[in-house]
Structure 1
Amino acid sequence: MNRIVRMLAAGAIAAACLSSCAKEPSVDWDALREDAFEAWMSRNGDGAVKQPSGVYIKKLHSESSVVKPPKAGDWVLIDYTGRTMIAGDVFTTRDSAVARQQGTFEYYTHYAPELVEYELGGAMIDGLYHALGAMTEGDSVVAYIPPALSYGAYGGSFGNGYQGQISSVSANTPVIMNLRLDKIVPDPLAYENTQVREYAYDNWGLSVTDTIAKNMYRRVIVPGRDTTHVRKDSIVCLYYVGQFLDGFVFDTNMADTARKHHIYDSNNSGKYDSITLTVGSRDTAYIAGFYKAVEGLRYGDVAQVVFPSTYGYGSTGTSASDATVIGPYSPLVFTIEVLPRYGDGTALHPYTRKGVQSVDGNEDGVWATGFVVGAVEGTSVETGAKYSDTVTVKTNILLSDIRTPSEASRVFAVELPEGEIRDKLNLVDNPSIYRKKIAVYGNITQYLGQKGVVDVTQYTKR
């Protein structure tokens, strides 16, 4: 995870005023670096005030004349851009405009203030800790940080799209931070629970009485056509879109959505398929929020759910070199589609054999899918079905949800209209499609003694 942290990187300070003494064993390098820092500040400090820690602060904006700094153990929400003092190179930023200017912008990067623990010797560098100690909520400052309070003897490195024109800071390098303290957060879990509650109320009109689990809110935005509800121990298939509260999309298993938000991973095309999970299980393949969110929905429902990090990525968050960083205590919003058990007749979720057979009455203009397993040589599926690629009729085919059916209850017949569709799908002329999966678009009605598909106008191979 990209933070202003102590990270290992090779390098050494390049200040010319110090390099001439490189071989003198008696030189106090720390003192010389401090002198060089003070000399630079005397010429370029632009009114910055030296703090007891040695950090210089220039206030750009303040919303209060009373300084109420964070306390050790608090968390702080901060926005920042860092530059090396001598060269002025940007090495890290939370600002998308700066990242674009530097040529390091990434679509998967969430350019937003970072929540980090306020602790000396912890995640943040000492100079940042001391700078924040002179600030209160709403303050914006320029902080000039000497080498001893910067990235130390090892330097620091940055990535995930948060880096600037350079991705590392050399050892013993003074830095300048444009820093804004957005919020002091004594209890980050309580803070995100409040965020979740306010999000549900402001955007969905939901109150605490509408929670489906502690601090978890859900609303159905597209009702499913199935009347069956997802219960504990149900096996469900899901499509999802994950967002932060500000609407930034960080993950999805829907290819079109990933492309729209420029986060499609062409090296992992298998990712863009539905995920399968057992509701109420202790499986940890997916975040806990998924298992909680779908219980009680109907198959086919599209719902939105918002929840705190207790159901997501917890107090540590996640990090990857080529994916969105999810910070600690990050509340999340997911749009989740529970796939219909037997399809819903759409192109995305065509009816399976069970779906076709469960249609009440007739239904026009639907998709149905299955494996090509034979044809009907006669007037009814029950008596005339032949489960083979060596059939004698071209007017119909049989589809099934398995490749080797042996009874009429496991298949449905598809009438092949004269013309291109019959020419392409009949088994007499196209034995190679035997046991291959296809989808057809037409009308569901009684055909050859049981529910089937007629008036086919389109087909696809799967």
Structure 2
Amino acid sequence: MKRKFLFLLLAVFGAVAFCSCEEEVDERESDELLRLQAYMSIHYPDARPTESGLYVIIVQEGTGATPSNSDFLLFEYTGQNLDDYVFETTNKATAKLYDIYSPQIHYSAKYIQYNLSVPTIIKGLEEGFSHLKEGGVAKLIMPSKLAYGNTRHQGLLPYTSVIFDIKLNKVVAKPEEYEQQLIEEYISENYPDLVIEDALVDGIYILESTLSDGFEIELPDSIGHEDVVKLYYTGTFFDDWVFDTNVIKIAKENDIYDSNRDYTPISVTVDTSDTDGSSTHIKGFSLALKNLQTSTDAKIIIPSEFAYGKNGSSVINPYTPLIFDLKILTKTSLEDEGESVE
């Protein structure tokens, strides 16, 4: 009897605790919505929310396409709460102004796929883009249920309404064609005397290739199948932002130095990258090296097909062509490498 009473008591206590938690959540959400409504009545008294609760304030009408499912969107944004606390931005000057600047962040337009079946952005932005056309500028004001909900984000507390100032730069229906356009524009602007077709070899664009200097070097030698090549590299985007390097001086100059990293030449085995799953180097390195020589400095463009592809990485947008400055040192054969290990 006592055991039954204890179980009953625990069940009642649990139900009360569960109800009190629900009431607390409901209270926080209702407080948030009251504050959001007060903010809107002062700043945008004529604005009306969509069915979901999103406020869309069009600042500038766009003249281009409206985003469709699976399009890629290139856009700039600044996010803040109702108290003007800026927590995120794609603009370097804005980041510095609000004291959130970090040299490790690449401040540039975001490029994402607008995927309604597998969302890649918060609900408020997803819905907001459906009200914009290419070239449009808008202010999207949303409750936390359309943003970060009951979680913390970049200094924001749970149940925080947010404001995004958005500029939709471009709607891209065919990302491969857009990437090719970017490559050709870059070459035309920076290498006007270079014939694009002549620069393209095995899918890689070789912009420069010169004999290395500054230290004792061996005579240049061609690079072939299963050669193991040692090299230094620096990877940049088309705006010259350095995203990766194994050159310690360049890493320090660009505020990406990592004391836990070994800044020594990497070894790339030609024709084995990304084929057996053992290589950590992108396929573009192997393709480029077959058309270069040892003891040379080279500048190349690797299209995304041979780099990080349609998914990108944590610091690289999808369908992003990359520039690499290479200092190609020496080579050995894969067979020689095996013998040295033994």
Partner residue of 2:8? none
Query: Number of matched residues?
Result: 302
Deviation at 1:218, TM superposition (A): 0.7
| Cross-structure match for 1:142 | 139
Q: Which of 164, 167, 172 is the aligned partner of 1:185?
A: 172
Q: Give the secondary-structure state (helix, strand or coil) at the position aligned to 2:96.
A: helix
Task: Confirm whether residue 213 of structure 1 aligns to residue 209 of structure 2.
Answer: no
Q: Deviations over 1:67-115 (max 9, x none)?
A: 7320111111111111112x32222111112222333322221110111
Residue 201 of structure 1, aligned match among 165, 188, 201: 188
Kept in 2, the 8 Å contact 1:78–1:180? The answer is yes
What residue is the counterpart of 1:106 in the other structure?
102
Between Structure 1 and Structure 2, whose CA radius of gyration is higher?
1
Shift of 1:34: 4.1
Question: Is the partner of 1:151 in helix, strand or coil?
Answer: coil
SS of 2:298's equivalent in the other structure is: strand
8 Å Cα contact 2:206/2:301 also seen in 1: yes
Q: 1:340 to 1:119 in 2, by over 3 A?
A: closer
The answer for the alignment partner of 1:368 in structure 2 is none
Alignment partner, residue 277 of structure 1:
268
Is 1:81–2:68 an aligned residue pair? Answer: no
Q: Counterpart amino acid of 2:44?
A: G
Distance 2:242 2:141 in 1: 35
Which amino acid letter does the alignment assign opposite residue 180 of structure 1? K
Contact 2:62 2:137 in 1 (8 A): no
Q: Residues 149-204 of structure 1, C-alpha deviation per residue, up to 9 Å, x if partnerless?
A: 2222x3353xxxxxxxxx24333321100111111112323322332233233323
- Judged with a 3 Å threshold, the aligned counterparts in structure 2 of structure 1 residues 234 and 25 are, in CA distance, closer, same or farther, namely closer
Deviations, residues 432-459 of structure 1 (Å, cap 9, x unaligned):
xxxxxxxxxxxxxxxxxxxxxxxxxxxx
1:336 aligns with 2:336: no
Q: Which runs of 5+ in 1 are unaligned?
A: 1-20, 158-166, 320-324, 343-462
Alignment of 1:44-83 (within 5 A): 44-45=43-44, 48=47, 50-51=49-50, 53-64=52-63, 68-83=65-80
The CA deviation string for residues 317-376 of structure 1, in whole angstroms up to 9 with x for no partner, is: 223xxxxx222222110011111459xxxxxxxxxxxxxxxxxxxxxxxxxxxxxxxxxx
Q: Compared with structure 1, are the counterparts of its residues 27 and 176 closer, same or farther at alpha carbon in structure 2 (3 Å cutoff)?
A: closer
Scaled by the length of structure 1, what TM-score is found? 0.59
The superposition leaves residues 303-328 of structure 1 with CA deviations (integer Å, 9 ceiling, x where unpaired) of: 11112222112233223xxxxx2222
CA distance in 2, matches of 1:47, 1:292: 59
2:210 alignment partner AA:
V
SS of 2:267's equivalent? strand
Q: Which secondary structure state, in structure 2, belongs to the residue aligned with residue 200 of structure 1?
A: helix
Residue in 2 aligned with 1:265?
258
SS of 2:167's partner is strand
Question: Could you tell me which amino acid in structure 1 is paired with residue 265 of structure 2?
Answer: S
Deviation of 1:58 after TM superposition, in Å, equals 2.3
Deviations 1:212-258 (A, max 9, x none): 123x2112342357242111221211111100011111111111222
Q: Which amino acid aligns with 1:288?
A: K
- Residue of structure 2 equivalent to 1:423: none
TM-score by length of 2: 0.78
Residues 233-244 of structure 1 mapped to structure 2, 5 A cutoff: 233-244=226-237
Cα pair 1:155 1:173 within 8 Å, conserved: no
Residues 46 and 91 from structure 1, CA distance in 2 versus in 1: closer, same or farther, beyond 3 angstroms?
farther
Q: Deviations along 1:8-36, whole A, 9 cap, x unmatched?
A: xxxxxxxxxxxxx9885896876665454
Q: Deviations 1:257-300 (Å, cap 9, x if unpaired)?
A: 222222222332x2x11111211113422111111111121211
2:5 alignment partner in structure 1: none
Higher relative contact order by CA 8 Å / sep ≥ 6: 1 or 2? 2
Q: 1:148: Cα distance to partner?
A: 2.7
Q: Aligned runs of 1:321-360 on 2, under 5 Å?
A: 325-340=315-330
Q: Which residue of 2 aligns with 1:370?
A: none
